[in-house]
Amino acid sequence: MKNPDERDLFPGALEMMILRTLRRQPLHGYALAQHIKRTSNDLLQIEEGSLYPALQRLLKEGLVKAEWGVSSTNRRVRIYKLTSAGAKHLDREVLSFERMLDGITRVLAPEGS
């Protein structure tokens, strides 16, 4: 019975992936989960449930908004959309993530290369 947060790579990673996915198109929770799993080639083992607290946090900060709608399978679902604040936030996060990744890569790179 593990804590869903513990499968986050680092704090904010899940949020970043959600924002990135929503940038392409608005999605409801289930579709969002499936998309992230699929695109990560199932490398990231994310409990589907952990999406929801993350979505609440994004909602609260106004980075996404949600509306009730009907899914392609004709279910009443909440569809999440990126707000403009969310888009800006994503850009910033991705930038700083890339910098961090760059730094880590340099440190981990074999010496002399």
Partner 1 sequence: MNWIKQSFTRRRFEGELSAEIQEHLAEKVEELVASGMSREEATAAARREFGNVLLVEERSREVWRWTSLENFFMDLRYGARMLHRSPGFTLVAVLTLAVGIGANTTIFSYVNALLLRPPSGVTEPHQLLAAWNRLPDGSYMQFSYPDYIYYRDRSRTFSGLVAYGSDGERVSWRTGGETALIEGQLVSGNFFSVLGVQPVLGRDFLPEEDQVPLRNPVVVLNHAFWQQRLGSDLGIIGKTLTLNGASYGVVGVAPSNFNGIETGFAPDFWVPLMMQRQISPANDLLSNRNGYWLFVAGRPMPGVTSAQAQADLSVLEKQLAQAYPKTNKGWDAAVMSIVGVPAEFREFAVPFTAILMAVVGFVLLIACANIANLLLARASRRSREIAIRSALGAGRGRIIRQMLTESALLSLAAGAVGLWLAVLAGPLLLKLKPPMLSFIDIQLGLDWRMLAFTLLVSLLAGIAFGVVPALRSSKVDVASRLKDETLGSHGRSRLRNVLVTGQVAVCTVLLIGAVLCLRSLLSATSVDPGFQINNRLMVSLDLDILGYSESRGLAFYDHLVEEVKTLPGVKSASVANHLPLGFARMATIVTIEGYQPPPGLPGIPIDFTGVGPGYFQTMGTPLRRGREFSRQDMATSPGVAIINEAMAQRYWPGQDPIGKRILPFSPRGERPSLEIVGVAANGRYRNLQEEPQPFMFRPFSQLYESSAVLLVQTAGDPKPMLATVEREIHKVDSNLPVVDAETLAQYMSIPLFVPRVTGTLLGVFGLLALLLAAVGLSGVVAYFVSLRTREIGVHLALGAERGDVLKLVVKQGMRLSLVGVVIGLAVAFGLSRVLSSLLYGIRSTDPITYVSVALTLTAVTLLASYLPARRATRVDPMVALRHE
C-alpha 96/C-alpha 107 separation (Å) is 17
Binds partner 1 (CB under 8 A): choice among 17, 27, 33, 36: 33
18: how many CB neighbours lie within 10 A of its CB? 27
C-alpha 38/C-alpha 44 separation (Å) is 10
Q: Is residue 14 part of the contact set for partner 1 (CB under 8 A)? A: no
Name which of 78 and 99 has its Cβ closer to partner 1: 78
Residues in contact with partner 1, shown as a per-residue x/- string from 55 to 94 under the rule CB under 8 A: xxx-xx----------x-x-xxxx----------------
